[in-house]
Amino acid sequence: MSNETTNDAVLALDAKPEKKEAMGIFFWFCLAWIGLNVLVAVFANVLPVADPVNIDFNHYSVLSPPNWSHWFGTDGNSRDIFSRVVWGARSSLYVSISANLIGFVIGGSAGMYSAYRRGKIDLLLSSVSLVFIAFPALIAVIAVLSFWQPGSEIKVIIVLGLTSIPIVYRVIRAATLSAANQDYILAAKVQGATDRRILLRELLPNVAPTGLSFLMLGIASIIGVQGTLAFLGIQQGDAPNWGEMINESRSSLDQSPWLAIFPSIALVLLILSLNFVGDRFRARFDVTEVKI
């Protein structure tokens, strides 16, 4: 039958293996760097590094430049900078990931729900989110944390998490809106799918790539904000973090630049990697008909 042969021809054309766009060596380098930071952050307490907080009086060496026993040098209290940079990764990633989780769980689900439901609830949530976005977030964060002293990590997480909700809401809502208007949502609906199934099984997988790439960018930006807060002295605490280290180095920047250089490099490299990986994810998972 002629139909059969046509089908086979179509199939043969289809059978070509899909060519995947290469991610590039820089992408893998960035991903590896993020992985290294995560590993170091998780295992900071078992790694063979010096105590980052307490002063080692047996090998007292104030402000020594980088050498074999202190790779990144020491600070004014004889604490090892390498160890403090390693522990700083833990603080940065812990605060940033936790704050983003708050933002994504609340803002993301609100965004998906209101984009799917539309109507009054969408109008209300969108207007409220716009009001919050219009107000400069950093000023709000600084104001709240200055009032709610002392600024421990957990308070920073809560405040940064809550302030990230409106913008996460906007991004996820926009992504859901474009997915919800597709025919396959309608098709699922006319096969009798419930709202819950459409949200979780049809929409979530299609919104997830956008969410993931935005999460990367969000983690990067909150690491930066946390650094700012620590630099301004608003976040205090025992655990070292990069912003605080840069802040402490201010007075002796001309004599002992290593105090600022190493935490700055760590900060820049991690944020850069996160941004780059997030950007590539976005480009990669942006499943459109263009590629087909």
Partner 1 sequence: MSPLLKVTNLRTTFTTARGTLPAVDGVNFELGENEIIGIVGESGSGKTVLSRTIMGLNPRSNINITGSVLIDGNEVVGSSESDLRKLWGSTVSMVFQDPMTSLNPMMRIGKQIDETLRVRLGMKKADAKAAAIELLRKVGIPSPEERYEAYPNQLSGGMRQRVVIAMALACSPRLLLADEPTTGLDVTIQAQILNLLDTVRADGQLSIILVTHDLGVVATRTQRIIVMYAGRVVEIGATADVFHSPRMPYTKALIESTPKISNPSHTVLPTIPGRPPDLYSLADGCAFAPRCSYATDRCRTERPELEASVEDGHSFACWNPLEINQNVSLRTSKGQ
Q: Does an H or E element contain 213, and which? A: helix 204-231
Is 272 in contact with 199 (CB distance < 8 Å)?
Answer: no
What is the smallest separation between the CB atom of 20 and partner 1, expressed in angstroms?
12
Is 99 in contact with 68 (CB distance < 8 Å)?
Answer: no
Residue type at 91 in one-letter notation = S
What is the smallest separation between the CB atom of 110 and partner 1, expressed in angstroms?
21
Q: In sequence order, which residues have a C-beta less than 8 Å from that of residue 205 and are 6 or more positions away?
A: none
CB closer to partner 1, 75 vs 202: 202
What is the smallest separation between the CB atom of 271 and partner 1, expressed in angstroms?
29
Q: Does an H or E element contain 131, and which? A: helix 119-134
CB closer to partner 1, 123 vs 128: 123
CB closer to partner 1, 9 vs 53: 9
| Distance separating alpha carbons of residues 253 and 242, to the nearest angstrom | 15
What is the smallest separation between the CB atom of 140 and partner 1, expressed in angstroms?
35
Using alpha carbons, select from 264, 258, 269 the residue that is nearest to residue 244.
264
DSSP state of 74: B
What is the smallest separation between the CB atom of 96 and partner 1, expressed in angstroms?
27
Contact positions vs partner 1 (CB under 8 A): 3-4, 6-8, 10-11, 13-14, 18, 119, 182-184, 186-194, 197, 201-202, 205-206, 287, 289, 291-292
Residue type at 149 in one-letter notation = Q
3-state secondary structure of 4: helix
CB closer to partner 1, 117 vs 155: 117
Distance of CA 140 to the CA centre of its chain: 20
Pull the structure tokens for residue 70.
């202190």
Q: Vertex 245, ends 239 and 248: CA angle to 5°?
A: 115
Is 83 in contact with 143 (CB distance < 8 Å)?
Answer: no
What is the smallest separation between the CB atom of 223 and partner 1, expressed in angstroms?
30
* Other C-beta atoms lying within 10 Å of the C-beta of residue 66: 15
CB closer to partner 1, 10 vs 272: 10
CB closer to partner 1, 209 vs 257: 209
CB closer to partner 1, 77 vs 194: 194
What is the smallest separation between the CB atom of 22 and partner 1, expressed in angstroms?
18
